[in-house]
Each structure stands twice: as C-alpha cells, then as structure tokens.
C-alpha cells in the first residue's frame, strides 16, 4: 500500500501527516479546498516544501463536489484514505450549524461512495473528543454511551462514525475512527486556545478565558497525534473507534501558568462567560490505542508548549 489520499491535507494535522508519510515512502494526494475559515496562504505555506517532492500531489477541490473526488480517484487510485477534512469549530457550529452538516456529513458520504465505487477499502477517519459531550465519567472510554452531543459539530462527528460502521457492515470497508483530543503544536490553526495565547503574548495583547479557568482539556501534541494516525494507517482492519490523546488533563488556568513559565512572559488574562457548546472536561483513556497499535503519547504539555513557542517566534520574524 503506497498511495494515500489525505483530505484536509493542507491543514494543521494534514500537513504534518503528509510529511510523515512522505518520509516513510508513501505517495500522497492532498485533497483540500483551502476553505476561508482561516487564510489559505497559511495552508499553502504548510505544504510548500512538501510539494517539491514528486510523490506529493495537491488537488484544490471540495468534498461536496463528488465529481472532483471521482476525478482524483481515477487519476491517482489511492489505496487508503485519511479523512481529516471537516468544517471545524464547536462554538461556530452552534451559531451556524448548516455548514457543519453540509461539509462534514455530505462530504463524508460523497467520499465513501466514491471509495466504494473505486474499490478503495480502507479509511482512517478523524473524529473528535467532543463526541463525549459533558460527561464527567473520566477518563473517557470508547465503550461509553455518547448520545448527548453538546454542539452540531460533535453531532456530525458522531454521525460520520455511525456511517462508517454501516459502510463497514454492508460494503466490507475497513474504517477506523480516531477520536482526537485537543491537538496543538506548530501550525495549529488560528482560533485554538494555545495558538491564540502564544500569539497574544508575542503581540502583547490580552487573552480571553471562558469561565473561571477551571475547565480541563487533554492537550495532545501534534507529533503524538501523527504517531497515532500513522499506526492506524499501517494497521486499519475491520471497524474500530479509538481515542488518541495525551491521557492527562490540565485546567485552562494551569495551561496559562505553564505558558508564563515556558515563555518567561505573563499572559494578560480576562474572563468571559462560557459559550454554548463548550464542555467542562476532556480526558482520554488510551488503553485501547495501546492494545490495538502500541500507541502512547510521549510529549508533555510543557515540552509541547516550548516547541510551539519556538516555532511561532521563528515564523513571526
């Protein structure tokens, strides 16, 4: 298996995965519409160096355009798909749910239908810890009941997991759904907490903390996420739902204190009400990932912040 199509291949996670797979000898097809959610120049910069590799191919197209997916499959004949593309943003989905449903569900159905017709049997799908909703039964396990999503975004991710199961059941497709937990690191998209906080430090701006700072997240460094995806690409068989996280949880206040310590600066903190859709805690039990593919996270939050801060300073010179 050598040809891997990566939807959302120019984004934060996709561009890192692309580099990892190219280094392992794969041929990659990056399928990305360069959505205006954040500047397309950032995404093009993410993949600029990789596109010099003759085994890396870039297609600017939208998953809602089924003909464009069919054309990509006809030309490159991928053996496996890593489906990262989605309309992101929990808070934004509460304000305007339609794009999430359109892109995340319709786009996924288009993709799986083209895979079915082309005989491409393997897919690794990027799901989300947001599926667990406001459960406080921690750490989160894949066997937990997850029928109370707190946002349209979370609901679309759950819908895609269920669709994946039916395509496995009826069409003999191998699909693994990886539930990512708060991914951060170099190239993190604008709008995410750590990216926002570090950029605010660099630009001497205040930050907004939602609530009293006690909300907790399982922050997972990008290299650990890519390790998990790579292991899934190598092993995907049958249907599985798997947590990929750091297996540790930190409050937002702890995160801010750590950023102050790592950077030697002081965040200017202000507080705002918690927006609809936000959950109190995320915390991954990754024992299934360990059992299935010998995965365990390696990068501590403090080390990950240091790496992202150093990267940001280099890019803003």
Residue of 37, 38, 76, 153 with catalytic role: 153
Task: Reply yes or no on whether the pLDDT at 317 is more than 70.
Answer: no
- Token pair of 264, please? 């030697």
- Of the pLDDT bands very low, low, confident and very high (cuts 50, 70, 90), residue 223 is very high
Task: Reply yes or no on whether the pLDDT at 61 is more than 70.
Answer: yes
Per-residue confidence (pLDDT) for residue 165, from 0 to 100: 99
Known catalytic residue at 153: yes
Tens of pLDDT, residue by residue over 121-162, are 999 999 999 999 999 899 999 999 999 999 999 999 999 999
Per-residue confidence (pLDDT) for residue 305, from 0 to 100: 98
Task: Reply yes or no on whether the pLDDT at 47 is more than 70.
Answer: yes
Task: Reply yes or no on whether the pLDDT at 2 is more than 70.
Answer: yes
Residue linked to tokens 């204190």: 257
Q: Based on C-alpha coordinates, what's the Rg of the chain?
A: 19
Tens of pLDDT, residue by residue over 169-204, are 999 999 999 999 999 999 999 989 999 999 999 999
Burial class (CB in 10 A: 0-12, 13-18, 19+), 101: middle
Enumerate the β-bridge partners of residue 285. Answer: none
Distances (CA, A) of 313 to 87, 198, 203: 28, 9, 11
Task: Reply yes or no on whether the pLDDT at 78 is more than 90.
Answer: yes
Task: Reply yes or no on whether the pLDDT at 268 is more than 90.
Answer: yes
What is the C-alpha separation between 163 and 132, in angstroms, rounded?
18
What single-letter DSSP state applies at residue 14?
Answer: H
CA-based nearest residue to 302, from 261, 248, 249: 261
- Token pair of 314, please? 């280099």
In whole angstroms, what separates CA 298 from the centre of its chain?
18
What is the arithmetic mean of pLDDT over 36-41?
90
Which option is the CATH number for 3-315: 2.40.30.170, 3.20.20.70, 3.40.50.720, 1.10.287.130? 3.40.50.720
Phi then psi dihedrals of residue 179, to 5 deg: -85, 105
């Amino acid at each position: 298996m050598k040809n891997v199509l990566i939807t959302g291949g120019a984004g934060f996670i996709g561009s890192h995965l692309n580099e990892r797979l190219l280094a392992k000898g794969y041929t990659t097809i990056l399928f990305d519409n360069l959505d205006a959610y954040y500047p397309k120049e950032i995404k093009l910069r993410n993949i600029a160096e990789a596109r010099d590799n003759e085994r890396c191919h870039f297609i600017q197209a939208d998953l809602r355009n089924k003909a464009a997916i069919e054309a990509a499959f006809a030309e490159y004949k991928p053996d496996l798909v890593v489906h990262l593309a989605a309309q992101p943003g929990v808070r934004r989905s509460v304000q305007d749910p339609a794009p999430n449903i359109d892109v995340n569900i319709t786009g996924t159905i288009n993709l799986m239908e083209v895979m079915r017709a082309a005989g491409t049997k393997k897919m690794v799908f990027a799901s989300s810890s947001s599926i667990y909703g406001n459960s406080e039964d921690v750490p989160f396990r894949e066997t937990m009941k997850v029928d109370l999503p707190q946002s349209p975004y979370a609901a679309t991710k759950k819908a895609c997991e269920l669709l994946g199961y039916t395509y496995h059941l009826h069409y003999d497709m191998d699909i693994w759904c990886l539930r990512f937990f708060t991914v951060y690191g170099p190239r993190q998209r604008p709008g995410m907490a750590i990216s926002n906080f570090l950029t605010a430090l660099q630009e001497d701006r205040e930050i907004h903390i939602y609530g009293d700072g006690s909300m907790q997240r399982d922050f997972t460094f990008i290299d650990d996420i890519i390790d998990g995806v790579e292991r899934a690409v190598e092993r995907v068989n049958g249907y599985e739902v798997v947590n990929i996280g750091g297996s540790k949880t930190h409050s937002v206040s702890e995160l801010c204190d750590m950023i102050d310590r790592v950077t030697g600066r002081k965040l200017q903190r202000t507080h705002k009400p918690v927006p609809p859709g936000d959950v109190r805690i995320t915390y991954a039990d990754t024992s299934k990932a360990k059992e299935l593919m010998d995965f365990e996270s390696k990068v501590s939050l403090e080390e990950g912040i240091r790496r992202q801060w150093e990267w940001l300073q280099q890019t803003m010179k």
